[in-house]
Structure 1
């Protein structure tokens, strides 16, 4: 059994807490959050061994094997440093931080300490996406030539969230950059971006955009396209296609239900599920199960700190490509210190 402490009981923290509560391989030992009402709700619903308003209690608890860092991104580095000092394995939500140099430093420190470090890129654990990757590895697609990812949220986040999100590429597209590397099995070499604040002009107030078409060139020369929007009125739009020399594999949207209604003048099917909690429920469950397995067996995580660095670097390259209106080569950023807005 792996004793877990969760730091941060907001939306994503609560999701992990619920899944940990039901996972046989883990014990939900403690939850920390400064919001006492949130802690009361968690305590009543999921019965952790204790709750606390001080994350230090979890970080210094000798009974805890691993911590889930689900606090605000601005707090990640401090929490990761303390987790490493106290020999806790780490599951961290994305991004690692807003400073790529600091992200690199803590990932290196975790490696040197012999600790498991997993990033919360849950889409790697989606059965459909895993099947596409398996088909690529088995040679069923042939040589990969083109990748298309469509990722559109049902509605924009609140502007107070946008102000501290790090921008579209670090907050949203970072998942797609990780998915691109995971599906293709190689790094992104170059990025160019077209887009703007098309759904809500207030994004301009934060030097941000809500709509983007991102062109990728991979190290092999294969190409890819990521389409992002903060608003899709029909639901959570999550599609993928991998095209290669032997054919293509596609992942369609996941509808609310599979029933189709056929009539003489129309065929009606259901729209996609509303948002990520519904779409990736299975993936969220599987990612924490795999993390627990990595801790128990002392084997590398499926999604490592290095994967987090690669996705964050791609996100920063995309931000530069958008601002400077040019193609940016990811390698040019790999030794730079860059902070997001």
Structure 2
């Protein structure tokens, strides 16, 4: 009888431990998901009348939401996208947005749609030439276009497509558009994944199909995270170098904005199993709306941290990483190697 009592006690104790453990895990994950879903609101009535903005990936998702906000403030917005269909749909939406939310008598708002493939360096150069013929300055440049793929692919320029889209193309666009006469605020969208992998990105041209084929045998899930993390790390390092070494010459400011996990078409290139199984869970538990991601961009544009002249990486309205997050030497090496890589187009 005593043995039976001890067995029952053990079973009850194990059950109690299991229940307590499950509750603790639930509370921990709930806190994590709640934090990921939290939206830090940024409120500003500041106008942008007379200002000109260029935004890559501006035809859908976060880019379209940013475009709409800038337009509502009176800016002329050049929206760049490689898809003509998306540009047409975005133009219709934004024109409707203008008529519904702004007074045409008080603003000279314009929407200029431009079919530009940021991964095609010739396409970028053609846009810059067109822009210079149309405008005297760019006040706001938002490098927002992004790509993640599950399989390695090369861009038209011969480099890894993810690195080209997320970093090299934006580097080229920024370097060509900036003027020593007019200051520009540049905002690069980034991601938490920039902290993954202790990877040396000093040579952005080193990410190639042959590298992955020889060493990891096309492990698609690894490649998807590795290439994206590398590209976002590179854009943050460019931002740091720009503000520590180049901003005085350019009279411009550069920031990185991390909008968090958003429910956009960005996941269209995920492996099929991830899109079917993981995204529904993320949409319900962690993903925010594209318009929620605009807050951190506005924070960089209108109200960066006191004393911050650029270079910080903002995640939400309140938190950021130091502008000395990376080694200045590494950032300079990356910058110089990137210019060598792109010397044909610069």
TM-score, normalised to structure 2's length? 0.35
Give the structure with the higher percent helix: 2
Give the structure with the higher percent strand: 1
TM-score, normalised to structure 1's length? 0.36
